[in-house]
Amino acid sequence: MIFTCNTCGLNFPTAEDQRSHMKSDWHRYNLKRRVAQLPPIEEDLFNTKVASLTIDDENTIAVKPKGEKQLTKKDQRRKEKEAIQEKKRQILEVARQAMLAKMKEEGITEVTPEVTDKEVVEPTEETVEQVLPTEEASNSNEELTEEQEADKILQEKMKNKIEITPTTCLFSQPKYNKVFDTVDENIDHMFKNFGLYIPEKTYLVDKEGLIGYLGEKISFGFCIACNYQGRNAEAAREHMKQKRHMRIPYESEDEKLEISQFYDFSSTYADVPASPAAAGESDEDQWEDVSDEGEGAEDDEDDEDDLPPADQDAIYQNGLELVLPSGAVIGHRSMARYYRQNLAPERILSEGQGTVIAAETRHMLSVRDRQELATQKRVWSREKKRSDVNDRRAAKFINQQEHYRDQLLQ
């Protein structure tokens, strides 16, 4: 009976020879080549490969000193990092020595003890070129005063300024050249395309001046809404487009005063009576002092006669009340019952106090309300329990359905 090794293609007379062959390194090597879909090699070729590998190992062992371990990647990275840090220390030391040499040349003797312990080395040309420019720049900055810095910034702004006429679109890029014949056409274009709304348009008397003022702000690199200061007009326009600041602010008092020179509200002054105090003389007996609760009403009337005309004009009417220059409020007699009320001041409750009051109000429910609340709680608990059971059941039998499809692949 012949025993065959299909991997190496050999025949053996006995089973013992076959087993000993299968334990050899040559057979194992051919098995690995078979897994890699490579043909087997002969025994002589395998022995030559093993011999060459053993010779290389012996050479490496002979060259490598005794007791030295092979470096890992972590050790190599650590050594490289230490080498970089050492170079940094050397550079800093050269710069420090150059600085000490310069201080010694200038006659500065105040140095720290750590510096005096080390020798001062003459600086090289590279270190001097690196150190001197920074010191000259710092000295030039120290010599400039605040006024000089402001003038310098103003000069830079004047260099970057561009001319924006009232008939030019404030937000378009210069390459599009959006120039119109009249200011009204320009305003209509900016309103339709950029949403620029002009407040109090009825009382605006100088449209050209307003648009010119906004254009001058943009030409200096300022945002018309938030006064953001950019490098030039293009930076300001880009900021306004990104932040949607293409609007004229008109909310606070300062914002209104900024553009008040272009408006005229004198036509609205005719609606105000010349002397508000004269309007209340007809029903003078119908007013009483609310602040002093009627005790000093006569004294206030005498004081009104003695006041100069400028102070009497300061009296103004607020609904059914007259506010005096002193701050006292005179209310109408028809509202006397409301003035006599002594109401508790409105309290702002904290979160804890609001919780306590809400808990106390639950006890004010009637019997029927409590029954309805209990029924709603039972219904909610049953629905919650049923949904939990359905979720657990779906999670348990999700892989036992006949045709399973992954929801993520739908």
**At residue 300, does pLDDT exceed 70?**
no
Q: What is the pLDDT of residues 56-68, one digit of tens each?
A: 666 655 545 555 6
**Which pLDDT score is estimated for 200?**
87
DSSP output for 34-79: HHTT-----HHHHHHHHHHHHHHHHHHHHHSPTTPPPPPHHHHHHH
In the chain, domain spans: 3-63, 81-137, 154-266, 275-339
**Which pLDDT score is estimated for 65?**
55
**Which pLDDT score is estimated for 363?**
58
Task: Kindly state the DSSP code that residue 261 receives in the 8-state scheme.
Answer: G
Kindly state the tokens that stand for 330: 């005179």
**Which pLDDT score is estimated for 386?**
93
Q: Which of 134, 159, 245, 263 is nearest to 207 (CA)?
A: 263
User: Has this prediction a pTM greater than 0.75?
Assistant: no
* Whether the Cβ atoms of residue 317 and residue 276 lie closer than 8 Å to each other: yes
Q: What is the pLDDT of residues 373-395, one digit of tens each?
A: 889 999 999 999 999 999 888 88
Please tell me the distance from the alpha carbon of residue 187 to that of residue 197, in angstroms, as a whole number. 9
**Which single residue is written with the structure tokens 């050269």?**
94
**Which pLDDT score is estimated for 34?**
87
Higher-confidence residue of 335 and 398: namely 335
Higher-confidence residue of 353 and 245: namely 245
Amino acid at position 134, single letter: T
Higher-confidence residue of 137 and 327: namely 327
**Which single residue is written with the structure tokens 């078979």?**
34
* Whether the Cβ atoms of residue 40 and residue 30 lie closer than 8 Å to each other: yes
In sequence order, what are the beta bridge partners of 204? 263
Kindly state the tokens that stand for 181: 């014949």
Q: Counting Cβ atoms within 10 Å, is residue 172 exposed (0-12), middle (13-18) or buried (19+)? A: middle
Helix (H) or strand (E) holding 158: helix 146-160
**Which pLDDT score is estimated for 112?**
47
**Which pLDDT score is estimated for 82?**
92
**44-48, 139-143, 284-288: lowest mean pLDDT where?**
139-143
Percentage with pLDDT > 70 across the chain: 70
**At residue 322, does pLDDT exceed 90?**
no
Average pLDDT over the chain, rounded to an integer? 76
**At residue 307, does pLDDT exceed 50?**
no
Q: What is the phi/psi pair of residue 343, to 5°?
A: -85, 145
> If you average pLDDT over residues 154-173, what whole number do you get?
82
Buried b (16+ CB within 10 A) or exposed e, 17-55: ebeebeeeebbebbeeeeeeeeebeeeeebeeeeeeeee
**At residue 133, does pLDDT exceed 50?**
no
> If you average pLDDT over residues 270-282, what whole number do you get?
50
Amino acid at position 392, single letter: R
* Whether the Cβ atoms of residue 170 and residue 187 lie closer than 8 Å to each other: no
Higher-confidence residue of 302 and 401: namely 401
Ramachandran region, residue 350 (left: φ > 0; alpha: ψ -120 to 50; beta: rest): beta
Q: How confident is the model at residue 309 (pLDDT cuts 50, 70, 90)?
A: very low
In sequence order, what are the beta bridge partners of 287? 332
Higher-confidence residue of 54 and 247: namely 247
Q: At what angle do helices 73-106 and 125-143 cross, to 10 degrees?
A: 60
**At residue 348, does pLDDT exceed 90?**
no
**Which pLDDT score is estimated for 109?**
56
- Of the chain, the end-to-end C-alpha distance in Å amounts to 61
**At residue 371, does pLDDT exceed 80?**
yes
Instruction: Please state, as a whole number, how many other Cβ atoms lie within 10 Å of the Cβ of residue 116.
Output: 11
**Which pLDDT score is estimated for 385?**
94
Higher-confidence residue of 118 and 286: namely 286
Higher-confidence residue of 174 and 332: namely 332
Task: Kindly state the DSSP code that residue 120 receives in the 8-state scheme.
Answer: P
* Whether the Cβ atoms of residue 279 and residue 317 lie closer than 8 Å to each other: yes
Top-confidence range, 14-18, 112-116, 334-338: 14-18
**At residue 364, does pLDDT exceed 70?**
no
> If you average pLDDT over residues 122-130, what whole number do you get?
46
Higher-confidence residue of 314 and 119: namely 314
* Whether the Cβ atoms of residue 259 and residue 210 lie closer than 8 Å to each other: yes
Q: Where are the beta strands (DSSP E) in 149-261?
A: none
Please tell me the distance from the alpha carbon of residue 320 to that of residue 216, in angstroms, as a whole number. 48
**Which pLDDT score is estimated for 389?**
92
**At residue 298, does pLDDT exceed 90?**
no
Amino acid at position 386, single letter: R
